Amino acid sequence: MTAGSEHDRLALLASVNEVTDGRVLLGETVARLLEFVVPAFADVATLDTISPRGELTRIGSRVQGPGREELERGLLHRRPVASAPVGLPRALSSGQGQLIERMAEEHLRAIAADEADYELLRALELRSMVDVPLLARGRIVGALACGVGPSGREYGPEDLRFAEVLSARLALALDNAGLSAAVSGLEQRLEATLTNLAEAVLVRDPAGPLVFANQAAAGLLGLDSVEDVVAASAEQLMELFNVFDERGRKLSLEELPSARAARGMPAQPLLVRNVIRSTGEERWLLHKATPVLDAEGALSMVVSVIEDLTEVKRAELAQRLLAEAGQALSSSLDYEQTLQQVAELTVPGLADWCAVAMRGDERLELVAAAHVDPKQAELGRAVGRDIAAYLGERAATAAVIAHRRARVIAELDDALLSRAGLRGELLKRVNELGLGSLILMPLAAPGQAAIGVLVLAMAQSGRRFDQSDVRLVRELGHRVAIAVENARLYSERSQIATTLQRSLLPPELPDIPGFRLAGSYHAAGEHNDVGGDFYDAFEVPGGWMVVVGDVAGRGAEAAALTSLSRYTLRTAGRLLGDPLAAFQELNAALRERESLSLVSVCCVLLRSEEGDGARADVILAGHPPAFHVRGGTPTPVGVFAPFLGAYELGGWQAMSTELAVADQLVLYTDGVIDTVGEQERFGEERLVATLAEGGEEASAANTVARIERAVKRFALGPQVDDMAIIVVERTGRG
């Protein structure tokens, strides 16, 4: 269960944004941020800061649940072990978020400083943890540690990605809170403080002219001096840039917070994409404006603070793009539809226009295209189709694809188009679309030939691609290529998997004189991949053996182990007629393998006796017990013993039970009792209750169907384990 719904996450980010304006001092900011994180995203959370000299200081802790105050005090005074190979120290040393999906004893020991620290960590009852560094102004300024456990939640890769996005917001809030505290403590030296701030500060007279600007403002605006900034009008400064909101809509001067504040309107902080017209350089700037009123309540000045969040925002956009693209690429096996979704994800965050072309028979064919302006979407697709056909005929394009190297064109001007040989209708359409800076990225999986090309271009935004864009597009192209290859191979892979799985199960259960058998098998997962469960029934000297087993792992390795287990038991059983001897043979074969190979088995030897009676010898090896059902009352049968493959001598024992007419023996794999519901497993108690519901008239087939229905009603989401069931019913002397 992941830590919070999408709605909760959006609400959490919105709450954090409320304290990023720098109006709240540091202590209050920390308390409010942790209140937002716990319990919306975590059961336990701590915040640390790092000084420029690398000193780590804990500034806050929050715990949800019983004993909160004592645990919070303990965490607040706790100091992480710098040499710990996992957790917070690892996140700080690597600069990357760390995820521990399943907390184990070894993790707690690794991060604990001593026994008392271990007991403190153990008291938190953590099941999963994420640790992420906080990055501000190009350096790690702190860290956020989150854990879940008592709530029953668990973290996964999606939670780590969300925590990384959240960390950027927290870093901004803490950074601004520190600024607020500094300014509050230096009110008597306001001008000197503003002059030396890293953020751009502009003070405007109500009539419009600028009366103050610091050196950071001059640098951000690309002017030589503060005097040049003050001398320019707001309109002249605006002419230096193209300004867009986060959705790519172009903004006017009147929409900026400073202009709104000057008109007496609400002026919420506004994050804008700023493009320098002269260079095409892109920046992400957070505009904040505060109206200052005189004693009579009239506007005396407007103070604007502009913060450069380019690194944080671009990292956030890159993470979001790759995460959303990964989700799209894994959501469908129709790769053309998927590539269209990926193309649409790239605009406007990464480019103004995107086209994806795949290599066919000696040519390129357009499969997806998207444009930032919906009115030009059709023109963008037409240009993409024509360019794909045109590029497919060019030797330069073939070289780009063959060598799997990106080609970056800083500016697609008339001279370059002419040298490239574009003419006629295609040249007219390219000019009409206004394409500028361009990236051609081959689509290639590691060690394989390129299968196509990803083309991205800038248009009306005026931006130019830089090396960080190229790195991001290369990673995106890499993922696209892998997904396309996987989609192309999926049909063949599915057919092979299905054929292989069928070969591992008997075509049908045999007719056993005096008994009736019914069985069921369900592979885990949405696509029914090859699993590790198996069952079999075959005649042996003096009776019949019925086997249900489960091997560790999935896929080809599990399939090989399944085949070895099933046929070793079948062969040894038929030759020796003794389940214990068959167990010894399989155990020896498993221990001869290079890697540890574990198999759990429930084996039953059926023997008819005089009259209508019968006897069943049940032997367990690391497997849940069978159930003997008589008159609607289930009774567990079997003596638990180690897995096959674990020890040279496993100490397996046979437990005998008599079967009367209408009695049933139920064999199953742990996929039944380990089925995950909303809060817990299906468990043996529910299985017993399900078996008891059948009463005295239940048949073997009815019992199997009843178990399947009960598990299906209980299950929540795709299950992670296979499920096999066999029910043996005594019918009388055959």
Can you give the pLDDT at residue 127?
93
Can you give the pLDDT at residue 402?
66
In angstroms, the CA 151 to CA 675 distance is 20
Percentage of the residues of the chain whose pLDDT score is greater than 90: 40
Q: Which helix (H) or strand (E) holds 634?
A: strand 633-637
Can you give the pLDDT at residue 317?
86
Can you give the pLDDT at residue 414?
73
Q: Which helix (H) or strand (E) holds 481?
A: helix 467-504
Can you give the pLDDT at residue 184?
41
Can you give the pLDDT at residue 186?
35
The predicted-structure confidence for 680-697, as pLDDT tens digits, reads as follows 999 999 999 999 987 777
Structural domain boundaries in the chain: 6-185, 187-308, 333-492, 505-730
Percentage of the residues of the chain whose pLDDT score is greater than 70: 89
Can you give the pLDDT at residue 183?
38
pLDDT class for 498, splitting at 50, 70, 90?
Answer: low
Can you give the pLDDT at residue 587?
94
Can you give the pLDDT at residue 497?
59
| Topology annotation, domain 6-185 | Beta-Lactamase (3.30.450)
Helices (H), 264-356: 310-331, 335-345
Whether the per-residue pLDDT at 182 is higher than 70: the answer is no
| Topology annotation, domain 505-730 | Phosphatase 2c; domain 1 (3.60.40)
Instruction: Burial-class residue 244 by CB neighbours within 10 Å (0-12, 13-18, 19+).
Output: buried
The predicted-structure confidence for 582-607, as pLDDT tens digits, reads as follows 999 999 999 998 888 999 999 999 99
Highest mean pLDDT among 195-204, 317-326, 327-336: 317-326
Whether the per-residue pLDDT at 97 is higher than 80: the answer is yes
Common-topology check for domains 187-308 and 333-492: yes
pLDDT class for 2, splitting at 50, 70, 90?
Answer: low
693 to each of 67, 520, 669, how far by Cα in Å? 43, 19, 20
Can you give the pLDDT at residue 590?
93
Query: Region 331-357: what's the mean pLDDT?
Result: 86
Query: Region 35-41: what's the mean pLDDT?
Result: 89
Q: What is the mean pLDDT of the chain?
A: 85
Are 533 and 549 in contact by the 8 Å Cβ rule? The answer is yes
Least confident of 172-176, 302-306, 653-657: 172-176
- Phi first, then psi: what are they for 437, rounded to 5°? -65, 145
Pairs from 583-591 (Cβ < 8 Å, separation ≥ 24): 583/619, 583/621, 583/644, 583/650, 583/652, 586/644, 587/644, 587/645, 587/648, 587/650, 589/564, 590/564, 590/565, 590/644, 590/645, 591/645, 591/648
Amino acid at 331: S
Query: Region 166-192: what's the mean pLDDT?
Result: 61
Can you give the pLDDT at residue 396?
58
For 187-308, CATH gives: 3.30.450.20
Least confident of 29-33, 145-149, 262-266: 29-33
pLDDT class for 11, splitting at 50, 70, 90?
Answer: confident
Can you give the pLDDT at residue 180?
45
Q: Which residue has the tokens 């001398």?
A: 231
Can you give the pLDDT at residue 24?
56
Which of 78, 225, 220, 57 lies closest to 134 in space, CA to CA? Answer: 57
In angstroms, the CA 88 to CA 666 distance is 48
The number of angstroms, rounded, from the C-alpha of 159 to the middle of its chain's C-alpha atoms is 7
Whether the per-residue pLDDT at 424 is higher than 60: the answer is yes
Instruction: Burial-class residue 444 by CB neighbours within 10 Å (0-12, 13-18, 19+).
Output: buried
Query: Region 20-48: what's the mean pLDDT?
Result: 81
Whether the per-residue pLDDT at 447 is higher than 80: the answer is no
Can you give the pLDDT at residue 201?
92
The predicted-structure confidence for 404-421, as pLDDT tens digits, reads as follows 778 888 887 777 777 766
Highest mean pLDDT among 149-163, 515-529, 547-561: 149-163
Whether the per-residue pLDDT at 181 is higher than 50: the answer is no
pLDDT class for 543, splitting at 50, 70, 90?
Answer: very high
Q: Which residue has the tokens 């008592």?
A: 150
Query: Region 220-249: what's the mean pLDDT?
Result: 90
- Phi first, then psi: what are they for 202, rounded to 5°? -125, 135
- Phi first, then psi: what are they for 723, rounded to 5°? -140, 120
Instruction: Burial-class residue 224 by CB neighbours within 10 Å (0-12, 13-18, 19+).
Output: exposed
The predicted-structure confidence for 348-385, as pLDDT tens digits, reads as follows 888 999 999 888 766 788 889 999 888 888 988 888 88
CA angle 79, 85, 86 (to 5 degrees): 75
Query: Region 700-720: what's the mean pLDDT?
Result: 90
Query: Region 108-122: what's the mean pLDDT?
Result: 92
Query: Region 438-456: what's the mean pLDDT?
Result: 85
pLDDT class for 209, splitting at 50, 70, 90?
Answer: confident
Q: What is 333-492's CATH number, 3.40.50.720, 3.40.50.261, 3.30.450.40, 3.30.930.10? A: 3.30.450.40
Least confident of 300-304, 359-363, 687-691, 719-723: 359-363
pLDDT class for 425, splitting at 50, 70, 90?
Answer: confident
Look at phi and psi of residue 95 and say left if phi exceeds 0, alpha if psi is from -120 to 50, else beta: left
Can you give the pLDDT at residue 491?
53
Whether the per-residue pLDDT at 610 is higher than 70: the answer is yes
Q: Which residues of 562-591 are buried (b: 16+ CB within 10 A; e: fewer)?
A: bebbbebbbebbeeebbbeebbbbbbebbe
Can you give the pLDDT at residue 179?
47
